C-alpha cells in the first residue's frame, strides 16, 4: 500500500499515489456508505468508472450494489501456455486470420445458436427472469469476443513458450441483468428515501431481500456465462493452433479469473459481500492474470493474500485517458510506429482504434511495482500478435 486517506467514514487505502479526481470522488462516496466495512481499496490501475472506480474493491455488510459490479458481469481473463517455442511472423499472420474467421468480433454474433452444452449448466432459469428472457440470444453470443478493450493475444514468455490469452465478458446478457437490477435498485431506493444521493450511482439492494437474491442468482449466472464464453473462444483458438501445428503442440491447463463480480467472503472475522470492479482475486496461492496493453507485457501472477486489499490486485494496466480523448489526442503514425518497432502484429489501423493504443494506458511496469505486496510474478509475457474487438 502506498498511502491512506482517513477523511471519510472509513479509510481509503491506495496502491497508487495519484488517482484521478473522478475516481477519488467515487472512492469517497463508497467510503461514506453506511454499510461499507473496514476500508475501501484502490488498486494501482484505478480510474473513474460509473458509480464505483475501475480498480476498486469494497466490502459491504448484507448489501449488494449492481453498479459496483458493473455492466460486464464476470468480465475477466483466461490464458493457456503451450509447448510451442517457435513461431514465425508469417505463421502468426495466418493464425490471426483464422482466429478472425473462428471467433466473431465486436458486435458480430454467431449466425446459428451454439449448442446448449456451451452454456452454463445446472441453473434454474425459472428463478432468473432476465437470464431466461435473454437465453436464446446468448446462445448466439457465447464464444464471441465483443468490443472495447477485449482481445485475443498470442504471447511468448521468457522461456520462449507461446501463450494464448483472451479478455472478454458476459456480452449482452450481463448488461441486461446489470441494467435491470440497477434500475430496480434506483426505484426502491427512492421509495425507501435512501440517504445515498442518486448522483453517486450507488443504488443498493439488501442482500437477503427477494430483489437482492434475484440479482445474486442472475449475476452468478452471468459470471458463469462469461467463463463459458472465454472457454469456447479458447477452444476454437486452440483448434486453429492445432491446425497450423499438427501433432507438435500440447496445452497446459487453462487459467481463468474474473474481475467484475461480487462474492461472499470472510474478512477480519466478518461475513461480507466483496465487490470487485476491475479488480482480481489475489488470495494466497491464487493464480491470476494481469494484462498490459497491446504493446506491453502481461503477467501471470500468484496472490499473496494481503488482507488490506481484501485479497485483491489490479486487473490490468488501467486507462490513463478516456477513449474519446485518446482518439482526439494521440498520434496515429506514432502509435503504429511504436508497435511496429516491437515487431507486434497489432490492431491499430485508424484513429478510431487509438482508444486501445498503448499510450491510452498506464505504464504496466509502474502498476506491477505498486502491487508487489499483493502478487508474485510467475511469468512475464511479451505480445506477438493481437486481435481486438
Write down the pLDDT at residue 124. Answer: 85
HSE, side-chain direction, 13 A CA sphere, residue 235: 10
Q: Give me the percent of the chain exceeding a pLDDT of 90.
A: 96
pTM of this structure: 0.97
Number of domains in the chain: 1
Q: Burial letters for 291-304: b for 16+ Cβ neighbours within 10 Å, e otherwise?
A: bbbbbbbbbbbebb
Q: What is the pLDDT of residues 334-372, one digit of tens each?
A: 999 999 999 999 989 999 999 999 999 999 999 999 999
Residue 235 lies in a domain: yes
Residue 166 lies in a domain: yes
In three-state secondary structure terms, 139 is helix
Active site residues: 315
Nearest one of 194, 282, 281, 220 to 74, comparing CA atoms: 220
CA separation, residue 287 to residues 51, 87, 300, 344 (Å): 29, 26, 7, 26
Average pLDDT of the segment spanning 195-200: 96
Residue 334 lies in a domain: no
DSSP code of residue 308: G
The number of beta carbons lying within 10 Å of the beta carbon of residue 222 is 34
Residue 348 lies in a domain: no
Strand 287-290 versus strand 298-303 pairing type: antiparallel
Q: What is the pLDDT of residues 269-304, one digit of tens each?
A: 999 999 999 999 999 999 999 999 999 999 999 999
Residue 372 lies in a domain: yes
Q: Which domain holds residue 290?
A: 3-320+361-388
Please give the Cα distance from 72 to 260 (Å, whole number): 7
Write down the pLDDT at residue 123. Answer: 73
Q: What is the pLDDT of residues 114-163, one digit of tens each?
A: 999 999 987 789 999 999 999 999 999 999 999 999 999 999 999 999 99
Residue 26 lies in a domain: yes
Residue 352 lies in a domain: no
Write down the pLDDT at residue 303. Answer: 98
Q: Give me the percent of the chain exceeding a pLDDT of 70.
A: 100
Please give the Cα distance from 272 to 282 (Å, whole number): 17
Residue 47 lies in a domain: yes
Write down the pLDDT at residue 92. Answer: 96
Write down the pLDDT at residue 197. Answer: 95
Q: Is the pLDDT of residue 22 over 80?
A: yes
Q: What angle do CA 328, 367, 148 make, to 5 degrees?
A: 40
**What is the band of 82 on the pLDDT scale with cuts at 50, 70, 90?**
very high
Average pLDDT of the segment spanning 91-120: 96
Q: Is the pLDDT of residue 389 over 90?
A: no
Q: What is the pLDDT of residues 237-257, one digit of tens each?
A: 999 999 999 878 999 999 999
Beta bridge partners of 164: 80, 154
Q: Is the pLDDT of residue 195 over 90?
A: yes
Average pLDDT of the segment spanning 49-76: 97
| CATH number of 106's domain | 3.90.1860.10
Amino acid at each position: 500500500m502506498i498511502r491512506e486517506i482517513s477523511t471519510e467514514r472509513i479509510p481509503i487505502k491506495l496502491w497508487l499515489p495519484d488517482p484521478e479526481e473522478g475516481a477519488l470522488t467515487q472512492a469517497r462516496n463508497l467510503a461514506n456508505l453506511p454499510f461499507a466495512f473496514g476500508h475501501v481499496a484502490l488498486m494501482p490501475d484505478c480510474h473513474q468508472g460509473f458509480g464505483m472506480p475501475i480498480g476498486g474493491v469494497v466490502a459491504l455488510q448484507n448489501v449488494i450494489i449492481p453498479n459496483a459490479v458493473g455492466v460486464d458481469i464476470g468480465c475477466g481473463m483466461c490464458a493457456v501456455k503451450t509447448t510451442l517455442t517457435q513461431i514465425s511472423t508469417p505463421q502468426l499472420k495466418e493464425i490471426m486470420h483464422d482466429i478472425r474467421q473462428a471467433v466473431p468480433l465486436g458486435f458480430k454474433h454467431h449466425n446459428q445458436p451454439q449448442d446448449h452444452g456451451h452454456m452454463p449448466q445446472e441453473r434454474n432459469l425459472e428463478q432468473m427472469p432476465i437470464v431466461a428472457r435473454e437465453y436464446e440470444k446468448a446462445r448466439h453470443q457465447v464464444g464471441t469476443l465483443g468490443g472495447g478493450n477485449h482481445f485475443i493475444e498470442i504471447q511468448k514468455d521468457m522461456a520462449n513458450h507461446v501463450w494464448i490469452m483472451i479478455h472478454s465478458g458476459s456480452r449482452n446478457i450481463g448488461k441486461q441483468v446489470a441494467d435491470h437490477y440497477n434500475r430496480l435498485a434506483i426505484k426502491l431506493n427512492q421509495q425507501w428515501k435512501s440517504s445515498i444521493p442518486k448522483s453517486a450511482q450507488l443504488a443498493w439492494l439488501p442482500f437477503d431481500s427477494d430483489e437482492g437474491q434475484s440479482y445474486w442468482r442472475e449475476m452468478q449466472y452471468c459470471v458463469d456465462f462469461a467463463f463459458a464464453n472465454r472457454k469456447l473462444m479458447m477452444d476454437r483458438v486452440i483448434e486453429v493452433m492445432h491446425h497450423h501445428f499438427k501433432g507438435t503442440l500440447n496445452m497446459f491447463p487453462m487459467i481463468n479469473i474474473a474481475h467484475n463480480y461480487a462474492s461472499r467472503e470472510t474478512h477480519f472475522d466478518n461475513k461480507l459481500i466483496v465487490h470487485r470492479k476491475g479488480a482480481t482475486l489475489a488470495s494466497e496461492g491464487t493464480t491470476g492474470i494481469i494484462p498490459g496493453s497491446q504493446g506491453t507485457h502481461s503477467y501471470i501472477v500468484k496472490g499473496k493474500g494481503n488482507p488490506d486489499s481484501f485479497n485483491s490486485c489490479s486487473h490490468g494496466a488501467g486507462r490513463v485517458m478516456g477513449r474519446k480523448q485518446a482518439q482526439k489526442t494521440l498520434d496515429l503514425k506514432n502509435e503504429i510506429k511504436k508497435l511496429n518497432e516491437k515487431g507486434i502484429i497489432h490492431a491499430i489501423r485508424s484513429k478510431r482504434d487509438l482508444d486501445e493504443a498503448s499510450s491510452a494506458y498506464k505504464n504496466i511496469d509502474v502498476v506491477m511495482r505498486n502491487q508487489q505486496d499483493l502478487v508474485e510474478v510467475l511469468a512475464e509475457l511479451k505480445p506477438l500478435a493481437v486481435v481486438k474487438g
